[in-house]
Structure 1
Amino acid sequence: MKADEWTTSLAIRAAWMSFIGRSTQGEIAGRLGVSPAKVHRLIAHAQKEGLIKFHIEARPSECVELEQFLCKRMNLENCFIAPDLGSGDETDSFTAVSSFAGQYLHSLFTTNPPKRIGVGMGRTLQSTIEAMPRVHLPELELLSVSGSLTRRLSANPYDVVQQLCAKTGGEGFYLPVPYIAETKAERDTFVSQGAVQELLARAKAAELFIIGIGSVEKEGHLVQRKLITSEEREELLESGACSDVMGRFVDIDGNEVACSLNEKAVGLHFDDVRKAHVVAIVGGYRKAKATLAALATGIIKDLIIDEVLARELAGLLKENELEATT
């Protein structure tokens, strides 16, 4: 890399840490191994080059190289990586990816406004919508791709349809059933209802889907929000499940695992969205396996992640490649 290219890349990283991570110039200096005065000059360089507007208009070269690698390896149309804010705190990974994804969605909505969007759920999506600037799209329809309720029939706090309605002025359509039913018979009863069938048919017709990627770890929202029991989580682990994608549980190769929960999921199936534009937004290094499994389903076209997770994901891919050759 040429000296001027390296300076610009370092300036972009400093700008992300300053404006997105809200770090002081002293903190940034410690993380980048330069003086505070150098940090000041780097940020000034980014401003002079027009890289800082109401959001940062570029990403460090290391992120771009990672994006190209992941696109090629996972057959993605686009991959966008939010730079590491350098604190070592996983919360900052969510801050970075949410800020970037919020700007991405705003740009997508303003340059080519969709008429109907299928929406997933999760903490990262919730943070993304919070970070997204408002846009006026009163004709937009926003539809849940999976059940919007918990098993106790209370609202799922990670269902972001209402958030998106508030940010866009669009009309929201919830799927008024649990994310996962108590039994297969109950699930069959739900999906036999005319209103549920109508909502699912409407969601299938969406031109854009925005989804999160869930893990089956204890820290995941499925366990935290009691959408599944501890016994069901053990069943998932025993079945080889690594990831929750739209309420379906898949193994590392992207195949649905044989477990009772997959028989009780209420919502769209992978085949319903395979030909559409599916954007997945995910943050946190703990999601590497879950993300790899979700990508293996083949439904995701665009991926937005943070740099720490991207490096973990690239490491997993290289590790798997090495194992395959030995």
Structure 2
Amino acid sequence: MARAATRNKKTKFQSDQEELKLRAAWHYFVEGLTQEQVAQHLGISRIKTYRLLAATREDGTVQITINSQAEPLLKLQRSLEKHLGLFECVVVPASEQTEASVSSVIGHATGRYLSERLEEGLSIGIGWGATLQACMNSLTWREIDNMTVVSLLGGLTHAAAHNPSAVAWRLAEFYKTELYQITAPIFLPSEKLASELWKLDDLKDLYERARNVDLALISVSDISKHASIFRRNLLTAEDAQSLREAGAVGDVLAHFVDNDGNVIKHPINRRAMSIDPTDIRKVPKVIISSGGVRKASAIRAGILATNAKVLITDEATAQELLRLPPVQ
């Protein structure tokens, strides 16, 4: 009885906090009250008001849409489309080139872009990374029948919010759709084990399903200590050095590629429980959502590896991409 009472109190507290957060957001973003006025109206401190408003941005309760775009950005988009052989490019301004800032602004743009293009019966393959994690906070809810989400990567046996398969799970949960996952660690200890697992009927079926999605949303990364795979110790610094020596410039779906988008011959690629990026080349729409100047070569390689025709990136990275050789 005591436990039940405690649970009920927690539930009521969470409900009250959610209502308070929504009221604060409405007064501030819709009615245009100052934070001090919101605090007075709700009978709470200004610091609590600030925290509530910050939470509404972080969890996607409040989403901001800008309905116009500066001419220089439009020109940059058109130049990049021509330079990289893209069908569409979205370039967003980023005031800072920190990992968090770039991921946040590109993720926001990606969430808006994706939400507008989801439709009944769509099958969508999903990669991972900080940008795609941020994207999930900017999705717009609407009911979509018969949509299917396919995770393009395996996961981790021990992880919090940054499990590679978590992005696909969050997308499927948000839109209440079916989810197909690679139920294996993203990197296995041996090539033989990975080869044997891919022979299982369920995983063979999933691989075929991944090849035939209608849309694939992925991110790419370079081979540095800042990259998710190395920052989260999925691979070591020694692995990174070995990959660079083999000609790798970036990671696309946990497969390492060279400047021309070729998946390099390396044991780590053969240990990966993820979809080979070259196997999604025939997907009707491949979207790369990624930014950061240091990733420019990896982004270009990712476009070549997957035949992506849509890129969502930041302004500084777009300018850096224009300095690289064009995609023929």
Q: TM-score range by the shorter chain?
A: 0.7 to 0.9
2:91/2:315 contact within 8 Å kept: yes
Matches within 5 A, 1:64-75: 64-75=74-85
Q: Note if 1:285 corresponds to 2:293.
A: yes
Cα-to-partner distance string for 1:50-87 (whole Å, 9 max, x where unaligned): xxx95112321111111111111211111111123x35
Matches within 5 A, 1:128-139: 128-139=135-146
Q: TM-score, normalised by structure 2?
A: 0.74
Using the TM superposition, name which of 183-192 and 114-123 deviates more. 114-123
Q: Note if 1:195 corresponds to 2:202.
A: yes
State the partner residue of 1:91. Answer: 100
Matches within 5 A, 1:1-326: 55-84=65-94, 86-87=95-96, 89-109=98-118, 112-147=119-154, 149-150=155-156, 152=157, 157-159=163-165, 160-276=167-283, 277-317=285-325
Q: Quote how far apart the aligned CAs of 1:178 are.
A: 1.8
Structure 1: runs of 5 or more not aligned: 1-18, 20-52, 322-326
Distance across 2 between alignment mates of 1:153 and 1:258: 28
The runs of at least 4 consecutive aligned structure 1 residues that moved more than 6 Å come to none
Over the aligned positions, Cα root-mean-square deviation in angstroms equals: 2.4
- Shift of the 114–301 alpha-carbon distance from structure 1 to 2, 3 Å rule, reads farther
- Shift of the 270–158 alpha-carbon distance from structure 1 to 2, 3 Å rule, reads closer
- Shift of the 114–57 alpha-carbon distance from structure 1 to 2, 3 Å rule, reads farther
Q: Report the AA paired with residue 291 of structure 1.
A: I
Distance across 2 between alignment mates of 1:247 and 1:303: 19
Q: Quote how far apart the aligned CAs of 1:114 are.
A: 4.9
1:76/1:302 contact within 8 Å kept: yes
Aligned residues: 264
- Shift of the 175–120 alpha-carbon distance from structure 1 to 2, 3 Å rule, reads same
Distance across 1 between alignment mates of 2:114 and 2:302: 21
Structure 2: runs of 5 or more not aligned: 1-28, 30-62
Q: Report the AA paired with residue 281 of structure 2.
A: R
Using the TM superposition, name which of 202-211 and 152-161 deviates more. 152-161
Q: Report the AA paired with residue 71 of structure 1.
A: E
1:94/1:306 contact within 8 Å kept: no
2:230/2:237 contact within 8 Å kept: yes
Q: Quote how far apart the aligned CAs of 1:235 are.
A: 0.8
Distance across 2 between alignment mates of 1:237 and 1:247: 15
Using the TM superposition, name which of 304-313 and 132-141 deviates more. 132-141
Distance across 2 between alignment mates of 1:182 and 1:120: 21
Cα-to-partner distance string for 1:23-64 (whole Å, 9 max, x where unaligned): xxxxxxxxxxxxxxxxxxxxxxxxxxxxxx951123211111
Q: Quote how far apart the aligned CAs of 1:180 are.
A: 2.0
1:116/1:206 contact within 8 Å kept: yes
Q: Quote how far apart the aligned CAs of 1:260 are.
A: 1.1
Q: TM-score, normalised by structure 1?
A: 0.75
Q: Report the AA paired with residue 93 of structure 1.
A: V
SS in 2 for 1:136: coil
- Rg larger in 1 or in 2? 2
SS in 1 for 2:90: strand
Distance across 2 between alignment mates of 1:134 and 1:293: 33
Q: Quote how far apart the aligned CAs of 1:204 are.
A: 2.0
Identity of aligned residues (%): 27
